[in-house]
Chain A
Amino acid sequence: DAKTTQPPSMDCAEGRAANLPCNHSTISGNEYVYWYRQIHSQGPQYIIHGLKNNETNEMASLIITEDRKSSTLILPHATLRDTAVYYCIVRVEYQGGKLIFGQGTELSVKP
């Protein structure tokens, strides 16, 4: 079973920040938080991952709470092309680790 819970859906206005929450209260000390997204009928796309420090890349920012039991993915300026299902996954960071997907959050960016 997936170790994360996410709201099933969210809306966001184009140009505004999209904040997607994720709960992972049973995360282990050696598990990272990964975020992927899946645009309709495509394979998932990697967004970002982190252990305990906040992370930022060209796509998004990841904020992890101090107790590591929850995190938030932030898309700073959402566009219509960001409409997708976003998956939060916890995983040990080593090569060959399988990903267990939860139900994800369906983000709809509206004009």
Chain B
Amino acid sequence: GAVVSQHPSWVICKSGTSVKIECRSLDFQATTMFWYRQFPKQSLMLMATSNEGSKATYEQGVEKDKFLINHASLTLSTLTVTSAHPEDSSFYICSADLNTEAFFGQGTRLTVV
């Protein structure tokens, strides 16, 4: 199947700093990618839809100025968590569609200390 890769797999950062997470579709092009967040023992929550060449669409309650999304090419979307705080510590997952199937990255574990 198709491969979606995230980098880094895990990151620890200091409170107040910014962290960038990359999501790449390795063997297909994706005009749309999706970003999810998952807290421990909870389900995945959709944060935003990343659109190549245009602005991302954010779900209700997600701060667009805090979670910056850039989709500059057909194979790369980035999520930047700005001014991170401990409550932003979570598992961040991206996905991209190929035909009718969604392929997910392996996730990025963010810990803000």
Contacts and interface: CB of A to CB of B under 8 A. Distances in A.
Contact of A44 (B6, B45, B93, B98): B93
A95 B45 CA distance: 20
A101 B44 contact: yes
Interface in B68-113: 91, 93, 95, 97-107, 109
The dominant DSSP class at the B interface is strand
Contacts of B36: 101
B56 to A, nearest CB: 12
B1 A95 contact: no
B104 A44 contact: yes
Interface size class of A (residues with CB under 8 A): 20 to 34
B46 A104 contact: no
Interface string A69-111: 0000000000000000001000001111111111110000000
B100 A93 contact: yes
Interface residues of B, number: 27
Interface in B27-59: 31-32, 34, 36, 43-46, 49
A49 B97 CA distance: 14
Contact of A42 (B4, B102, B107): B107
Contact of B43 (A93, A95, A97, A101): A101
B46 A95 contact: no
B109 A45 contact: no
B107 A87 contact: no
A46 B102 contact: yes
A41 interface: yes
Nearest to A85: B43
A96 B6 CA distance: 19
Interface string A23-48: 00000000010001010011111100
Contacts of B103: 46
B43 A102 contact: yes
Contacts of A43: 4, 6, 93, 95, 104-107
16 contacts: A38-B44, A41-B107, A42-B106, A42-B107, A43-B105, A44-B93, A46-B102, A49-B101, A95-B32, A98-B34, A98-B49, A99-B44, A99-B102, A101-B36, A101-B44, A104-B43
